[in-house]
Amino acid sequence: MNDKTQYWVELAEYDIETARAMLRTGRYLYVGFMCHQTIEKALKAVIAGNDSFPPKIHGLMKLAQLSDIFDIMDDDQKDLLDTLDPLNIAARYPEQKEKLAEILTSERCEAILAETEGLLCWIKQRL
């Protein structure tokens, strides 16, 4: 694994640990946000591993396509990208936080976190 790839992997691992901490403390809005960040950085690790510079974008579908692993992802993994994508932007704006707070329950966040951990592991196996 090259240094650029390792850099992004370390960031992704830090973010998944932060998501776990947010779940333990009941800060559910940030569980979703950090899960998005985890997968964004894992996908950027794949791009960096292909000797490319990861673009400064946040869209998970686009990053997955640029990383050349989109075509081997299953439907559940792609569905998770769809679930996580809006959590990056919505967590930043007050008018959307209330809507998210209703959706991001403890149980929902536990499920999102578990799926994110699984996808992170899967992505790391492809590095």
Provide the pLDDT for residue 90. 57
Provide the pLDDT for residue 19. 98
Mean per-residue pLDDT over the chain, rounded: 93
> Is residue 36 within 8 Å of residue 60, measured between CB atoms?
yes
Provide the pLDDT for residue 94. 66
For each of the domains in the chain, give its residue range(s) and CATH number, in order of start.
3-125 (1.20.120.330)
Provide the pLDDT for residue 96. 75
The dihedral built from the CA positions of residue 31, 10, 75 and 93, taken in this order, carries a sign that is positive
- Give the integer Cα–Cα distance in Å for 64 and 107: 27
Report which of 65, 38, 35, 39 is spatially closest to residue 52, judged by C-alpha positions: 65
Q: Which residue has the higher pLDDT, 101 or 38?
A: 38
Q: What are the pLDDT digits (tens) for 67-117?
A: 989 999 999 999 999 999 988 865 566 677 777 878 899 999 999 999 999
- Give the integer Cα–Cα distance in Å for 68 and 126: 10
Whole-prediction pTM value? Answer: 0.94
